[in-house]
C-alpha cells in the first residue's frame, strides 16, 4: 500500500506555496508516494494546487472568532463537524503536515485523535492560532524565523528550517550577472515594457491590497515623470486598471522568479513568503505590514529592515503623499543596496527529508 502524506493549509499564497515547495521536492524524492492537499473551497489552493499536479480535498472553513458575537456560540459545533469530516480524510494517512490556515485546526485535531504523526511548519515570526494549536500535538515543528525560538513552550525546541520557496527562486541567488540580466530583459520584453527603464514591482499579497493599489495609482504620474515603469499585481478580486506605456496592471503573477529578476525595487506587504523570497533574490523593498492579526507581518520584516534591505512603513502612513515625498531617499537606498552574498539552502529538502525519516522509522 502506498505511503500517503496529507498537506494541510490554504487561503493565501503564504500558506500554499511553502506546502507546494515541500510536496514538489518530496514527489521527486518519493515518486510512488501519494501526496494529497487539504484546503477549503474559497482559498487560493483551488488554483495553485491542481495547477501543480496535486489532488485537493475540501474541508469546511471554520473561522476563529476574534471577538465575542452571537456567531461565537456556534463555533464549537462548527469545529466539531469539521473535525469529524477531517477524521475520514486522515484515517488512511501515514503523516500529516500543516502550514497554517483555515484547513489546519480540524486536520490537526483529527490526526491527534487517530494518533497520526503530525509535522507543522510556521512561516511567520509570530505563530498563528492554527499552528499554536498544532504545536500541542505535533511530533516535529519547523520554523522560518529565528525569533520564533524565543516563544514559550514547544517553539523553543523547533527546528529552524527556513522558508520552503520555489526552487527557481533559490536558484536565482546563484546566477551570474549576465544570466540574471538575460532573464530580466526577456521578462520585460514579454510584458512589452522598456528594458532601459528602471522597474518597480508592486503586489499586495495573493488577494491584493486596495490600500496599496490606490497609493500606486495616485503616484503614477510622478513615476512617469521620473522615468520609471511599474508592474502592478492588483489581486484577483480587484478590478484591473487601464494599462499605459509605463504601467502594467496584472491580476496575479504566476512566475514570481522572473518578476523579481525584472524588478529594481519592490513594494509589497511583508508576508512571510514575500520576506523569504526577497532575502533570496536580494531585492530592496518598501514593506507595508498588514495591520491585522497578531503583528506577525511587522515581525517578519525585522531582519530585512535590520540588514538595510527594506524600508518599513505603517499601513496608516503609507499613501501617495508619503510615497512621493520619500521617493528620492528610498530610491537612493535601493540603488545603493548591496545584498549580502550567502548560501541558499533548501528548506523543502530539510522538511522533506525529515518526513522520509519519520516514515522509514515507523516501518
> What's the pLDDT at 254?
87
Q: And the C-alpha cell for 7?
A: 498537506
Spell out the SS3 assignment of 194-216. CCCCCEEEEECCCCCCHHHHHHH
Domains belonging to the chain, first-starting first, are: 4-164+346-362 (3.40.50.2000), 167-336 (3.40.50.2000)
As a whole number, mean pLDDT of residues 84-103 equals 95
Give the Cα separation of 316 and 319 in Å (integer).
8
State pTM to two decimals: 0.87
108-123 pLDDT tens trace: 999 999 999 999 999 9
DSSP 168: H
The DSSP bridge pattern shows strands 140-143 and 247-250 to be unpaired
| pLDDT > 90? residue 187 | yes
Query: Above 70 in pLDDT, residue 363?
Result: no
pLDDT value at residue 64:
67
CA–CA separation, 337 and 300 (whole Å) = 20
Distance between CA atoms of 122 and 147, rounded to whole angstroms? 12
Residues 280, 170 contacting (CB under 8 angstroms): yes
What region does 63 belong to: left with phi over 0, alpha with psi -120 to 50, or beta?
A: beta
pLDDT at 124: 92
Amino acid at each position: 500500500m502506498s505511503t500517503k502524506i496529507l498537506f494541510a493549509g490554504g487561503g493565501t499564497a503564504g500558506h500554499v506555496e511553502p506546502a507546494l515547495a515541500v510536496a514538489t521536492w518530496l514527489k521527486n524524492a518519493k515518486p510512488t508516494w501519494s501526496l494529497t492537499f487539504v484546503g477549503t473551497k474559497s482559498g487560493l489552493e483551488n488554483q495553485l494546487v491542481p495547477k501543480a499536479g496535486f489532488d485537493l480535498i475540501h474541508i469546511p472553513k471554520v473561522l476563529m472568532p476574534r471577538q465575542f458575537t452571537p456567531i461565537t456560540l456556534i463555533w464549537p459545533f462548527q469545529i466539531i463537524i469539521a473535525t469529524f469530516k477531517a477524521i475520514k480524510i486522515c484515517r488512511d494517512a501515514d503523516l500529516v503536515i500543516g502550514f497554517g490556515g483555515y484547513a489546519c485546526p480540524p486536520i490537526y485535531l483529527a490526526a491527534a485523535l487517530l494518533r497520526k504523526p503530525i509535522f507543522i511548519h510556521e512561516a511567520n515570526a509570530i505563530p498563528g492560532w492554527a499552528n499554536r494549536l498544532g504545536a500541542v500535538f505535533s511530533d516535529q515543528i519547523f520554523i522560518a524565523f529565528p525569533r520564533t525560538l524565543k516563544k514559550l513552550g514547544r517553539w523553543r525546541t523547533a527546528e529552524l528550517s527556513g522558508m520552503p520557496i520555489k526552487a527557481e527562486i533559490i536558484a536565482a541567488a546563484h546566477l551570474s550577472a549576465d544570466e540574471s540580466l538575460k532573464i530580466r530583459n526577456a521578462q520585460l520584453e514579454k510584458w512589452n515594457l522598456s528594458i532601459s527603464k528602471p522597474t518597480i514591482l508592486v503586489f499586495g499579497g495573493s488577494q491584493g491590497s486596495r490600500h496599496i493599489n490606490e497609493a500606486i495609482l495616485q503616484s503614477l504620474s510622478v513615476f512617469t515623470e521620473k522615468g520609471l515603469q511599474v508592474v502592478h499585481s492588483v489581486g484577483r478580486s480587484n478590478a484591473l486598471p487601464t494599462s499605459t506605456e509605463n504601467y502594467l496592471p496584472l491580476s496575479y503573477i504566476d512566475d514570481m522568479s522572473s518578476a523579481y529578476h525584472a524588478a529594481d525595487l519592490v513594494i509589497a506587504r511583508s508576508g512571510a513568503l514575500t520576506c523569504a523570497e526577497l532575502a533570496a533574490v536580494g531585492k530592496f523593498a518598501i514593506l507595508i505590514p498588514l495591520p491585522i492579526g497578531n503583528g506577525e507581518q511587522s515581525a517578519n520584516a525585522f531582519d530585512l529592515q535590520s540588514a538595510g534591505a527594506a524600508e518599513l512603513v505603517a499601513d496608516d502612513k503609507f499613501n501617495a503623499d508619503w510615497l512621493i515625498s520619500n521617493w528620492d531617499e528610498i530610491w537612493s537606498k535601493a540603488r545603493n543596496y548591496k545584498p549580502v552574498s550567502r548560501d541558499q539552502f533548501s528548506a523543502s529538502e530539510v522538511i522533506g527529508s525529515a518526513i522520509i525519516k519519520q516514515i522509514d522509522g515507523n516501518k
